[in-house]
Structure 1
Amino acid sequence: MTLDHVRRTPGFGVREGFCAQGGRRWFAYYGLDWGAFVRDGIEAEVLEATGDALGARVVAFARAEAAGGQP
């Protein structure tokens, strides 16, 4: 998963994607390293392990995109 996935995942509102500022807060809440994520990305399993709907949504979007389908 990359920052690009986060920015392009259809959100829960009217705008596409999630903002970086909210992403920073989300990562901090779950004790994840935002800087490392921005530099290197993060494994889908790490986001899934949070049990959070936002993480699951980003993972589903990225997996669908990788498989050549639409989320």
Structure 2
Amino acid sequence: MTVDHLRRAPGFSAQPGFCAQGGREWFAYYGLDWGAFVRDGIDADTLEATGDALGLHLVAFARAEAARG
């Protein structure tokens, strides 16, 4: 999972993706390192472990994209 996935995933509005500010807040809420995510990405299992709808949505988007090649 990368910040690119966050920016391109279908959102819950007319615009695709999610904003960086909201992403930073979400990562902070779950005690995840935003800077490391931006630099290196994050394992999908870590996002899934939050059980949060946003994390699950991003993982599903990334996996569907990978399956399409």
Structure 1 residue runs of 4+, over 6 Å off? Answer: none
Counting matched residue pairs gives: 69
Aligned residues with identical type, % of pairs:
78
TM-score w.r.t. the length of structure 2 is 0.96
Question: What is the CA–CA distance in structure 2 between the aligned matches of 1:15 and 1:28, rounded to whole Å?
Answer: 24
Shift, 1:66, TM fit: 0.3
Question: What is the CA–CA distance in structure 1 between the aligned matches of 2:63 and 2:50, rounded to whole Å?
Answer: 17
Mark the runs of 5 or more structure 1 residues left unpaired by the alignment.
Answer: none
- Which structure: greater helix fraction? 2
TM-score w.r.t. the length of structure 1 is 0.94
Question: What is the RMSD computed on CA atoms of the aligned residues?
Answer: 0.9
Mark the runs of 5 or more structure 2 residues left unpaired by the alignment.
Answer: none
